[in-house]
Amino acid sequence: MTLRNIFLIVAGAALLALTSCRSSRSVSKDAPVQPRSTAADYTKTVTANAQQASALTARIKVRLEAGGKSLSCNGSLRMKRGEVVQLSLTVLGMEVGRLEFAPDGILVLDRFNKQYVRAAYADLGFLSHAGLDFYALQALFWNELFVPGVRDVATAVHRFTLAEQGQHTLLTLADAPALNYGFLTVTRNGLIDRVTVEGKPGAPAGRFEWRYGDFATVGGRPFPATMSASLTGVGRDVALSLSLSRIGNDADWETRTQVSPKYKQRSAEDIFRELMKL
CB burial class (10 A; 0-12, 13-18, 19+) of residue 100?
A: buried
Burial 47-60 (b: 16+ CB within 10 A, else e): bebbbebebbbbbb
pLDDT of residue 12: 55
Q: What is the pLDDT of residue 129?
A: 59
Question: All domains of the chain, ordered by start, with CATH?
Answer: 3-21+31-277 (2.50.20.10)
C-alpha torsion sign, points 133, 135, 139, 145:
negative
What is the model's pLDDT at position 194? 96
Task: Please report, in angstroms and rounded to a whole number, the separation of the first and last CA atoms in the chain.
Answer: 10
Q: Of 25, 19, 42, 56, whose CA–CA distance to 223 is shortest?
A: 56
In this prediction the pTM is: 0.84
With a cut of 70, which residues of the chain have pLDDT below it? 1-37, 124-132, 202-205, 234, 268-269, 271-278
Question: To which H or E segment does residue 2 belong?
Answer: none
